[in-house]
């Protein structure tokens, strides 16, 4: 069932709301703004009806914020469609209010070195995301991601040659490497894991998540404009959106989301393929 409100779960966790403040909405990308399936893979642009609805929300004074597992390198197309007022990227490792960087966290070199060593020991390939550039690690020379312009490393030395500052904030890997990931007790124990559906998996640093990123954004917004948001909405479909849902007053799960994700939402929208963001925005009178 879609378009259904879950009563009694609207949260007021940030601060006491002001009726005079702006309405803020955080939007996930894959499976929320952008249609994605296991077969089609990730897209780069929002569906037309969805882009139109989010633009209408922003034009009426709403503050639209992109909240995604992608890095800034991967959101150029969708951010060209919609006038986002901020970005929470790499699951909260990088946060920006307008052009001002609010938070920018990367894996400490010691942790990154151990992570690469563990992945090499279990033969695991992975995609390392940074704000300025990304790289893929492939100890056995496989090229599972085939991302345009992304170079491949076999080890830590290669990774450092590709990106000397080693500033990476998040790691992705595919379903073919899930069993390899489980073989490393270190990776399972030391990093936060998300199953983001359609054979995609994520690893982030402890304490880094979309919820923490959203809080940092809202604090910076209040400091800048001097007003507490009147309402905070969050739209998402995956496990990495659940910490974001906990920050929002109204959390909207896409219709194709898992039961686990839906259980954390206050409203279930239509699926991404059926323009769920657009219909939900209209339902709440935001577009």
pLDDT band at residue 11 under the 50/70/90 scheme: very low
What pLDDT shows up at residue 145?
64
Residue closest to 277 by CA, chosen among 92, 26, 20, 13: 26
Residue burial 41-53, b: 16+ Cβ < 10 Å; e: rest? eebeebbeebbbb
Query: What domains appear along the chain, each with residue ranges and CATH number?
Result: 4-105+208-283 (3.40.50.1000), 109-204 (3.30.1240.10)
What pLDDT shows up at residue 12?
39
User: What's the rounded Cα separation, in Å, for the pair 109 and 147?
Assistant: 24
Q: In what order do the strands lie in the sheet with 135-137?
A: 151-153, 135-137, 126-129, 170-174, 200-204, 192-195
**H helical segments located in the chain:** 48-59, 76-81, 109-122, 156-162, 178-183, 185-190, 210-225, 242-245, 259-262, 276-283
List the structure tokens of 279: 């219909």
What pLDDT shows up at residue 44?
82
pLDDT 10s digits, 141-152: 776 666 667 889
What pLDDT shows up at residue 198?
85
User: What's the rounded Cα separation, in Å, for the pair 59 and 74?
Assistant: 24
Antiparallel, parallel or unpaired: β 86-89 and 63-67: parallel
């Amino acid at each position: 069932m879609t378009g259904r409100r879950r009563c009694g779960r609207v949260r007021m966790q940030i601060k006491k709301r002001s009726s005079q403040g702006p309405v803020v909405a955080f939007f996930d990308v894959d499976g929320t703004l952008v249609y994605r399936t296991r077969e089609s893979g990730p897209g780069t642009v929002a569906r037309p009806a969805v882009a139109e609805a989010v633009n209408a929300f922003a034009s009426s004074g709403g503050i639209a914020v992109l909240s995604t597992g992608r890095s800034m390198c991967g959101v150029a197309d969708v951010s060209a469609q919609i006038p986002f007022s901020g970005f929470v990227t790499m699951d909260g490792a990088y946060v920006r209010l307008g052009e001002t960087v609010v938070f920018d966290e990367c894996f400490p070199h010691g942790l990154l070195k151990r992570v690469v060593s563990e992945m090499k020991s279990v033969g695991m390939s992975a995609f390392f995301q940074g704000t300025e550039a990304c790289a893929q690690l492939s100890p056995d020379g496989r090229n599972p991601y085939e991302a345009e312009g992304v170079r491949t490393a076999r080890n830590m030395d290669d990774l450092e040659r590709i990106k000397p500052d080693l500033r990476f904030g998040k790691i992705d890997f595919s379903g073919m490497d899930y069993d390899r990931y489980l073989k490393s007790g270190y990776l399972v124990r030391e990093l936060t894991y998300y199953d983001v559906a359609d054979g995609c998996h994520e690893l982030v640093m402890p304490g880094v998540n979309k919820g923490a990123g959203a809080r940092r954004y809202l604090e910076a917004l209040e400091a800048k404009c001097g007003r507490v948001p009147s309402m905070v909405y969050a739209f998402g479909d995956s496990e990495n959106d659940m910490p974001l849902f906990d920050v929002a007053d109204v959390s909207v799960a896409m219709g194709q989301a898992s039961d686990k994700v839906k259980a954390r939402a206050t409203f279930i929208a239509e699926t991404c393929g059926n323009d769920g963001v657009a219909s939900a925005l209209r339902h709440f009178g935001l577009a």
